[in-house]
Structure 1
Amino acid sequence: MSPTRRTTRRSLARRRGPRAAALALLLATATACANDVPEAKWSQGLLPDHVTQEGDVVQTLWNGAWIAALATGAVVIILIVWASIFHRKRRAKADLPPQVRYNLPIEMLYTLIPLVMVSVFFFFTARDSQTLTRVDGDAPVQVKVEAFQWSWRFTTTVNGKELQPVAGVPVHDFHEGPQLVLPTNTKVQFNLSSDDVIHSFWVPEFLFKRDVIPGIKPDDPGNQFQITTLGRTGVFAGRCAELCGVDHSRMLFSVKLVEPNEWNQYIASHQAGSAQ
């Protein structure tokens, strides 16, 4: 092998080494905080499979936004290519194309089209936001969620009867954290509160999260939301989505969705004053 080739290979190896190290570091840091989360199902595209009716609203809005964004990008690219090909300056002609001060039809076009697009985005976003934040107050299951550094306390009320609270401590695995049990095909209202710092209640399969702001009472609309669970059962990871202190990454919990029979058994064994 000639000295020139050996030198070229060495220089390529030196350049690839830092790139490979940077890629390995990126992969390690990207997955470092996800060791405790179960593998989610992603059959609906870029969002995990949802377990609530409100997830359908989020999924539809998400898909529509992507379709609109891709269509807008396609139109822009086509216009750029078209202008570059059919309006490029010919080498044989040194003169500039005719110069005009304004073009009223074009100016109206690029003013009205963005206005229509923004109006459509605003309408659907405002409509869906109102749906997602509406609280009817008639949910048969209500959950008082108390967030604190660095875990959760869940107090469930079923048709006016309070069950035994479930509290946790900071953990490394969501299976070890407090577990909130809920029935399938049921409307559930969450009332959030915090006495220390801002936390955020997040279950990815809900396709929704809500900040828990201290100083706001649990019955305040700003700390409430409701969902209607679907028929899918299982255990789903939850966490705090707001950086809240040293053990923020250990502020884990789980939500278990069960069939009506198992839910009735859970109620019977967790009524206030009963022995577990």
Structure 2
Amino acid sequence: MVARGSEVRPSAVRQSSPRDARGRGPRPSMGRLAGLGAGGAALLALLTGCDVGRTFDGFGWPQGGISPESHRMYDLWIGSTIAALAVGVFVWGLIFWCVIRYRKRGEALPVQTRFNMPMEFLYTIAPILIVAVLFYYTAIVQTGVNKTTSNPDVTVEVVAFKWNWQFNYLDKPGEDANTVASTLGTTEVIPILVLPTGRSIRFEETSKDVIHSFWVPELLFKRDVFPGNVRNVFEVTNLDTEGAYVGRCAELCGTYHSMMNFELRVVSPDEYDRFIEAKRAGQSTQDALVAIGEPPLAQTTRPFDTKRDTNNFGNASAGS
């Protein structure tokens, strides 16, 4: 007895396409080729004629970077997203084309294809090429972001502790450097890190207690701050935009983690030099900022209320 589904009926065989005198199938129509060409030209015009990232709000990535490293990471994200969308559109198109092209038509058995070598070659090699290209550009950007030099223009030691920051301006890189000026944050005053534009800046991070994370959103990346003898070091080639930028701790470090803020104040090189000289002369950070024409207190964040009272940290009825 032969199963019904295994029967081969004449009607199940697809009629072959008409061929020309040389035995070749019909060529694509000129209208279809013209449509594909116009679509490709329109896509290129869209991608080259406008800022794709700005048009689509960065595809979820923060915009407004203030260093060359942040610009490179932003471009990598936008390029990767466009590539992923292109692959997605291609795959979705194939899915819908198959759904429409090979939908059921009556009871005839469709043509049974055992394999398709060009197609199998395509979906084997194409993913490898895509991953290789993305890996290459990721490695290039990552190497640039992690690059350090032996003689940066400015070196700052970032010291994190529960729940505030201290910024020490050093005379050279390394643990044996001397501190020429320092800013210490308190509960009442947000610490302000003053840095210049147009100069290479080295950050050397350490923690007094637990793991914290140094994060200025406009730098577009975070760096963990480890306790002990570990010093997390990184550099930015330069800061290209003056202004005030909020800084935060991006690692859950305790009760007041969300309120462990600071401010990055980017000024001109001349103003930075005058700020350091004022600090060396014994002025406070606030007085030194006023001396260079900057607001003395943080503009992007404010001190937090610790709410330390008997209701939170003791027996409310103890004094009654």
Specify the TM-score bucket, using the shorter chain as the normaliser: 0.7 to 0.9
Tell me if 1:274 matches 2:282.
yes
Tell me if 1:68 matches 2:83.
yes
User: Taking structure 1 as reference, are residues 158 and 48 closer, same or farther at Cα in structure 2, changes over 3 Å only?
Assistant: farther
SS of match in other structure, 2:202: strand
- 1:164 to partner: Cα distance: 2.3
SS of match in other structure, 2:213: strand
Partner of 1:245: 254
Partner Cα distance (2:115, 2:228) in 1: 56
Partner of 1:163: 180
Tell me if 1:104 matches 2:117.
yes
Read off the aligned partner of 1:264 and give its amino acid letter: D
Contact 1:137 / 1:189 at 8 angstroms: preserved in 2?
Answer: no
Read off the aligned partner of 1:57 and give its amino acid letter: R
User: Taking structure 1 as reference, are residues 128 and 228 closer, same or farther at Cα in structure 2, changes over 3 Å only?
Assistant: same
Which of these two proteins has the greater Rg computed from alpha carbons? Answer: 2
Q: What stretches of structure 1 of length at least 5 have no aligned partner?
A: 1-41
SS of match in other structure, 1:261: helix
Read off the aligned partner of 1:97 and give its amino acid letter: P
Partner Cα distance (1:178, 1:69) in 2: 41
Contact 1:143 / 1:188 at 8 angstroms: preserved in 2?
Answer: yes
Partner of 2:154: 141
Contact 2:181 / 2:276 at 8 angstroms: preserved in 1?
Answer: no
SS of match in other structure, 2:246: strand
1:132 maps to which of 132, 145, 164: 145
- 1:231 to partner: Cα distance: 3.4
User: Taking structure 1 as reference, are residues 66 and 216 closer, same or farther at Cα in structure 2, changes over 3 Å only?
Assistant: farther
Partner Cα distance (1:249, 1:268) in 2: 33
Partner Cα distance (1:51, 1:275) in 2: 29
- 1:170 to partner: Cα distance: 4.8
Partner of 1:207: 220
- 1:215 to partner: Cα distance: 3.1
User: Taking structure 1 as reference, are residues 265 and 147 closer, same or farther at Cα in structure 2, changes over 3 Å only?
Assistant: same
Contact 1:58 / 1:128 at 8 angstroms: preserved in 2?
Answer: yes
Tell me if 1:48 matches 2:57.
no
Q: Deviations over 1:113-148 (max 9, x none)?
A: 111111111111111101101111211210101111
Partner of 2:210: 197
What TM-score, normalized by structure 2, do the two folds share?
0.66
SS of match in other structure, 2:65: coil
Partner Cα distance (1:258, 1:95) in 2: 76
Contact 2:190 / 2:262 at 8 angstroms: preserved in 1?
Answer: yes
User: Taking structure 1 as reference, are residues 137 and 108 closer, same or farther at Cα in structure 2, changes over 3 Å only?
Assistant: same
Partner Cα distance (1:177, 1:96) in 2: 75
Partner Cα distance (1:260, 1:105) in 2: 60
1:258 maps to which of 261, 267, 271: 267
Partner Cα distance (2:229, 2:128) in 1: 37
Contact 2:63 / 2:74 at 8 angstroms: preserved in 1?
Answer: no
Partner Cα distance (2:159, 2:268) in 1: 26
Partner Cα distance (1:125, 1:63) in 2: 12
Q: Deviations over 1:82-113 (max 9, x none)?
A: 111111111x2x13323344332222211111
Contact 1:170 / 1:250 at 8 angstroms: preserved in 2?
Answer: no
SS of match in other structure, 1:166: strand
**Coordinate RMSD, CA, aligned:** 2.0
User: Taking structure 1 as reference, are residues 87 and 216 closer, same or farther at Cα in structure 2, changes over 3 Å only?
Assistant: farther
The alignment of Structure 1 onto Structure 2 pairs a total of residues equal to 224
SS of match in other structure, 2:262: strand
Q: What stretches of structure 2 of length at least 5 have no aligned partner?
A: 1-52, 285-320
Partner Cα distance (1:97, 1:208) in 2: 54
